[in-house]
Amino acid sequence: MEPYHAPISPWSAGLACRCPRCGRGPLFKGFLDLAPACTSCGLDYGFADSGDGPAVFVILLAGFIVVALAFWVEVTFEPPLWVHALLWIPAVLVVTLGLLRPFKGVMVALQYRNRASEGRLDTPAP
């Protein structure tokens, strides 16, 4: 019988990059590579397949933030193009790389909470 684990918020576990079941063990073994299992409760992370979902959300959010700030800077200060390049290329890198890991953690935690799995087609009985 599996030990009882009190349910934790997938948002807090995901943003902290912790195990979605116990909230203590690390979720990642590298920057974006999932660990094989939780070192605290033993949950196998084999169920997790976030795909490109986190990257899409991060790109949309980072694009909105950076474009809005670039537009504001252009309208307010009218800097030359090289200033825009100097400001927004590093900003895009910082925002996207800073958000990608926590977004992937939330996606994995939501998959665990909702018991998401690969879709299967029903086959008719012979």
How far apart (Å, rounded) are the C-alpha atoms in residues 34 and 37? 8
pLDDT in tens, 85-117: 999 999 999 999 999 999 999 999 999 999 887
Q: How far is CA 122 from the centre of its chain?
A: 31
Number of neighbours of residue 72 by Cβ within 10 angstroms: 10
For 105, phi and psi rounded to 5 degrees? -60, -40
Which is more confidently placed, 42 or 1? Answer: 42
Q: What is the mean pLDDT of residues 76-85?
A: 97
Residue type, 72: W
Which is more confidently placed, 126 or 92? Answer: 92
Averaged pLDDT score across all residues of the chain: 92
pLDDT in tens, 7-60: 899 999 999 999 999 999 999 999 999 999 999 999 999 989 888 999 999 999
Residue-by-residue DSSP string for the chain: -PPP-----HHHHHHTTB-TTTS-SBSBSSSSPBPSB-TTT--BGGG---TTHHHHHHHHHHHHHHHHHHHHHHHHH---HHHHHHHHHHHHHHHHHHHHHHHHHHHHHHHHHTT-----PPPPP-
What pLDDT sits at residue 112? Answer: 94
How far apart (Å, rounded) are the C-alpha atoms in residues 121 and 100? 32
